[in-house]
Structure 1
Amino acid sequence: MKVFGVTGWKNAGKTGLMERLVTEITARGYTVSTVKHAHHGFDVDVPGTDSFRHRAAGASEVLVSSPKRVALMTELRGADEPQLPDLLARLAPADLVLIEGFKGAPHPKIEAFRAEAGHSLIAPGDPTIRAVASDVPLELDRPVLDLDDTVAIADFVLAEVGL
């Protein structure tokens, strides 16, 4: 399984870039899965549904299946957050897994950068960042791509992972 990440600070355009890359790369015939890291608590379940009630009652895992989708929710209940390799092992085979976040993990990444967000670049101190997708010109020791040029960014990612 090929893995490539999109990283950057808050409001840098990571999620929009992920969305555009998934659309572009799947349109080229590849299967793409995604992993998103959240730094906060989140809920994908709706209070009052049967699956929510199962989790609230204390279930460690709740799997919901329908003719349209399958969802597995795992409650950590105080256990450590799983490491990225453990999460990747849970995924069905795909041509490419795009990872949003997980700044400190060792997989190759592209940094999304928006000047107006007011953050410094991560790339200069991180060799896992292979390129920067930016809304302004930058002078770096690695490729700088236009943040809005999804085709060029997809070409770069696919070349980097050998697809």
Structure 2
Amino acid sequence: MIPIVSIVGKSDIGKTTLIEKLLPELTRRGYRIATVKHDVHGFEVDREGKDSWRHKKAGAHTVVISSPHKIALIRDEEKDLTLEEIREKFIREVDLILSEGYKKDVQPKIEVFRKGKYKELLCTKEDNLIAVISDQAFDMGVPCFFLDDIKGVASFIEKRFLTAQKGRDVILKVNGKTVPLNPFVKGFLTHTLQGMLTSLKGCDAPSTLDLHMEGIGKE
């Protein structure tokens, strides 16, 4: 499962700037990063008069714009999606998701704080605060980094969320929902499926396995 870290803080505190600095540092270390920006006011990414804009205005529920190097998706949603829902629906083939905002979501949070702008932090440990980045020290029971310590923050994220992800992992989904698995069940599934694969042609030394089953509850 792709880990999520939310960069939070009050308005104009430097959340976007922090993400801009973290991205090249994490990318330099070989990680693929996705970002999610929360906009409570709504937004438009298309331009009036463009073909894709006309498709959407004509009633398309989903519009995909595709080119040889980029792809974009615009679709209607009935509610504000959680970060977990966004991850499950839209994000693949990355090592980490950095979100900007989502202070009310349950995901781990790193708060940016500047003493000259506000008097107190936005989050506490009860809000799943895992670190603070600030121009002053805090005794919050979580690590505190200076604003310019980008390598330190990147190393903290790497150690806590990325290094631990390396190696084997097993994800089970039933009816589209992820089912938590303990280490014993993960090991059992891994060894069982590996044993089955050894008897099949063209399945030598698999590194990943995707298994999809339908109609298993029907007689």
TM-score by length of structure 1 reads 0.91
- Cα deviation, residue 130, structure 1: 0.6
- Cα deviation, residue 44, structure 1: 1.0
Partner letter of residue 28 of structure 2? Answer: A
Runs of 4+ in 1 over 6 A off after TM superposition: none
- Structure 1 segments unaligned to the other structure (5+ residues): none
User: What are the superposed Cα offsets for residues 91-111 of structure 1, whole Å, 9 maximum, x if unpaired?
Assistant: 112111111111111111110
d(CA) in 1 for partners of 2:74, 2:117: 33
**Count of aligned pairs:** 161
Larger radius of gyration: 2
Which residue is 1:65 aligned to? 66
d(CA) in 1 for partners of 2:76, 2:129: 32
Greater shift after overlay, 121-130 or 50-59? 121-130
Which residue is 2:86 aligned to? 87
Query: What's the secondary structure of 2:4's corresponding residue?
Result: strand
TM-score by length of structure 2 reads 0.69
d(CA) in 2 for partners of 1:15, 1:126: 24
Which residue is 2:107 aligned to? 107
Tell me, yes or no, if the aligned pair for 1:11 and 1:114 is still in contact at 8 Å: no
* RMSD of aligned residue pairs (Cα, Å): 1.5
- Cα deviation, residue 82, structure 1: 2.1
- Structure 2 segments unaligned to the other structure (5+ residues): 164-219
- Cα deviation, residue 162, structure 1: 4.0
> Higher relative contact order by CA 8 Å / sep ≥ 6: 1 or 2?
1
Tell me, yes or no, if the aligned pair for 1:123 and 1:129 is still in contact at 8 Å: yes
Greater shift after overlay, 61-70 or 123-132? 123-132
d(CA) in 2 for partners of 1:125, 1:153: 18
User: Cα 1:17–1:65, aligned 2, differ >3 Å: closer, same or farther?
Assistant: same
